[in-house]
Amino acid sequence: MHVTRRGFITVAAIGSLVPMMPACATRPRRSRRPAAEPLRLACIGTANRAWDNIQELRHERIVALCDVDAGYLARASSEFPDARTFRDFRELLAMERELDLDGVVVSTPDHTHALATALALQAGLPVYCEKPLTRTVRELGVLRSLWERHPVATQMGTQIHAGDNYRRVVEAIRAGAIGRVTAVDCWQQKSWGDGRLTPGAVPPAGLDWELWQGPIERRAYIDGVHPANWRRYWSYGSGTLGDMGCHIMDLPFWALGLDRLDGRSIEIQADGPPPDAIGTPAWLEASWAIAPGRAGDDPLVLRWFDGGRMSPFVQEIGAKDRVDYHGRFSVCFQGTTGALFANYGEMLLWPGARAAAWQPPAPTIAPSIGHHREWLQAIRDGQPTAPLCGLPYATRLTELVLLGTVAYRAGRPIRCVPGSMRIDGDPAADRLLGEPALPGWTLPGA
C-alpha cells in the first residue's frame, strides 16, 4: 500500500529553530524518511545546470522529472526510467502527495524559480533552488514570508559557499587580516548582455514555448533564447550581475555579515550603456553604500564590475606590482591595513610583506559535507535552518544583487532598507522591483 507520510507539528515544537516565525502559525511538516531509505526527489529542469544537480542527487531516488523541452526530458528519463515525467511543474507539484515527495529541485531559468519554489514551500516541501533565488525583488519577499509560515530545509545553488576557501577568507576577514574593511570590489569578465527580439523566429522542435514563458507576458519566440541566452533579457534573467553576483558577492556578504543589517539602509547606484527595456547591458558597474553600524563611521562600499570593466583600485595596484590581479581573482577586500584578494579557490594578502607576517587564524567554520548534502541532511534531520544558503540567507543575498540591476534600470541612485522589499519616494524605481505575473502563474501569498 502506498502511504503518504505527512504529519503536523505545532510551533511550540520547532519554534526555537525559527525564531522569526509568528507564534500562532502552524504549518505542514513531513515525518522523516527512515535513514535506510533514499529521499524521493522531483527535479524541475533536467539539462545543463539541472543535469549537474541531478548528478549530485542521484544517490537518492529521482521519482519525478519535469522539463518543457521534450528532447531534454526524454534524455533524462532514459537514465531514470522509473521517474514520472511532466512538462508543467504546476501539475507535478499538484501531485506531490501522490508522488510522496521529500524535496524538489528547481533548476529552470530564473523567471520560473519563484513559482516552482513557492508551490513547493506552500506544500511544506523542502526546496533546492538555483541562484539567483528569484528574478525579482518582490518575489523574494513572497518566498521569505512563505518560508516563515512553512519552514522547511532550503538551499540556493551557490555551491562555492560549501568550499574550503570561502570559509578561510571569511575567518581571515573576521580575524582582522586587513584591519577594518572599508570597501570590497567584485568583478566578473562575462557579459550576458544585448538581448534583442527576433521577429519571425520559431521555437525549436520539442520546446513548449508557452510553458517556458510561464508567468511572463507572451511574446513570439526569440531566436536562441533557450537554452542559456535567456540571461540577456530582463523578462527572464538579469544579465551578468544577476547570473554571477550570488556566487561572487556571497563572499563579502558572508564575511561582513550583510544578511543581518538590522534596518541599516543601502544606497545603490549603477552605470552602464543606456538602459534598454528588453535586453540586459553588455557591461555594468554598480555600488552599494551600506550605512555604518556605528555613528561616525563611513559607509561600507561594495562595488561590482562586469563585461570587461575593472576596479580602478585593482588596476592601479596591478599596474604597480605588474601582477594581473584582475585576471586571477574576482574579489578584493580593502581594509585599513591592507587588501585581500580572493577567488573560488585561493586568497592572497596584499601587500606581500604583510602576507609574509600573517598567521591565519585557526579554522572556526566547520567544513561542509557538500552543498547538496547539507540540504539532504537537513531534510532527514528536520532542521529547516541548517543549510547555510537556505531561504533566510539566500533571500537577502539575492536582494542585494538584484537591487544593483534595479538602480541601473532606474537610471539614478536608489535607497532601500533590505528586507523592506520597497523603494520609498521613487515609485518608478519601486515598480522595477517586480511586475504582476500572468493569471494562472501568480505566487501563492503574493
Phi first, then psi: what are they for 379, rounded to 5°? -65, -50
Range in contact with ligand NAD (rule: CB under 6 A) among 38-46, 56-64, 183-191, 305-313 = 38-46
- Nearer Cβ to ligand NAD, position 106 or 177? 106
Q: Is 107 in the site for ligand NAD (CB under 6 A)?
A: yes
Q: Which of 39, 57, 72, 287 binds ligand NAD (CB under 6 A)?
A: 72
Shortest distance (Å) from residue 107 CB to ligand NAD: 5
CA 153/CA 384 separation, integer angstroms:
4
Range in contact with ligand NAD (rule: CB under 6 A) among 41-49, 170-178, 398-406, 418-426 = 41-49
Q: Is 112 in the site for ligand NAD (CB under 6 A)?
A: yes
CA 174/CA 256 separation, integer angstroms:
8
Contact between residue 343 and residue 329 where contact means Cβ atoms under 8 Å apart: yes
Closest C-alpha to 256, from 322, 333, 371: 333
CA 273/CA 295 separation, integer angstroms:
36
Q: Is 154 in the site for ligand NAD (CB under 6 A)?
A: no
The DSSP code sequence of 266-281 is EEEEEE-SPP-SSBPP
CA 101/CA 153 separation, integer angstroms:
13
Contact between residue 390 and residue 155 where contact means Cβ atoms under 8 Å apart: yes
Can you read off the three cell numbers belonging to residue 161? 559557499
- Nearer Cβ to ligand NAD, position 39 or 162? 162
**Which H or E run contains 341?**
strand 339-342
Phi first, then psi: what are they for 71, rounded to 5°? -65, -45
Q: Which of 6, 32, 49, 61 binds ligand NAD (CB under 6 A)?
A: 49
CA 188/CA 283 separation, integer angstroms:
10
Q: Which of 10, 48, 336, 420 binds ligand NAD (CB under 6 A)?
A: 48
- Nearer Cβ to ligand NAD, position 52 or 171? 52
Q: Is 50 in the site for ligand NAD (CB under 6 A)?
A: yes
Q: Is 108 in the site for ligand NAD (CB under 6 A)?
A: yes
Phi first, then psi: what are they for 306, rounded to 5°? -140, 180
Shortest distance (Å) from residue 162 CB to ligand NAD: 11
Q: Is 66 in the site for ligand NAD (CB under 6 A)?
A: yes
Contact characters 203-242, ligand NAD, x per CB under 6 A: --------xx-x-----------xxx--------------
The β-bridge partners of 70 are none
Q: Is 341 in the site for ligand NAD (CB under 6 A)?
A: no
Counts of helices then strands in the chain (DSSP H, E): 17, 16
**Which H or E run contains 395?**
helix 391-410
The residue assigned the cell 596584499 is 350
Q: How many chain residues bind ligand NAD (CB under 6 A)?
A: 29
Task: Check the CA dihedral 359-365-368-371 and report its sign.
Answer: negative
User: What single-letter DSSP state applies at residue 233?
Assistant: B
Can you read off the three cell numbers belonging to residue 204? 525549436
Q: Which of 39, 42, 43, 47 binds ligand NAD (CB under 6 A)?
A: 47
Shortest distance (Å) from residue 442 CB to ligand NAD: 15
- Nearer Cβ to ligand NAD, position 250 or 430? 250
Contact characters 350-389, ligand NAD, x per CB under 6 A: ----------------------------------------
Shortest distance (Å) from residue 34 CB to ligand NAD: 30
Most distant CA pair in the chain: distance in Å? 72
Q: Is 46 in the site for ligand NAD (CB under 6 A)?
A: yes
Judging by beta carbons within 10 Å of its beta carbon (0-12, 13-18, 19+), is residue 320 exposed, middle or buried?
A: exposed
Contact between residue 125 and residue 104 where contact means Cβ atoms under 8 Å apart: yes
Shortest distance (Å) from residue 233 CB to ligand NAD: 12
Q: Is 131 in the site for ligand NAD (CB under 6 A)?
A: yes
Q: Which of 117, 155, 159, 280 binds ligand NAD (CB under 6 A)?
A: 159
Range in contact with ligand NAD (rule: CB under 6 A) among 48-56, 181-189, 339-347, 415-423 = 48-56
Shortest distance (Å) from residue 89 CB to ligand NAD: 5
Contact between residue 404 and residue 268 where contact means Cβ atoms under 8 Å apart: yes
Q: Is 45 in the site for ligand NAD (CB under 6 A)?
A: yes
Range in contact with ligand NAD (rule: CB under 6 A) among 60-68, 393-401, 420-428, 429-437 = 60-68
Q: Is 157 in the site for ligand NAD (CB under 6 A)?
A: yes
Shortest distance (Å) from residue 229 CB to ligand NAD: 8
Phi first, then psi: what are they for 154, rounded to 5°? -135, 160
Query: Based on C-alpha coordinates, what's the Rg of the chain?
Result: 22
Q: Name the site residues for ligand NAD (rule: CB under 6 A).
A: 44-50, 66-69, 72, 89, 107-110, 112, 130-131, 157, 159, 211-212, 214, 226-228, 243
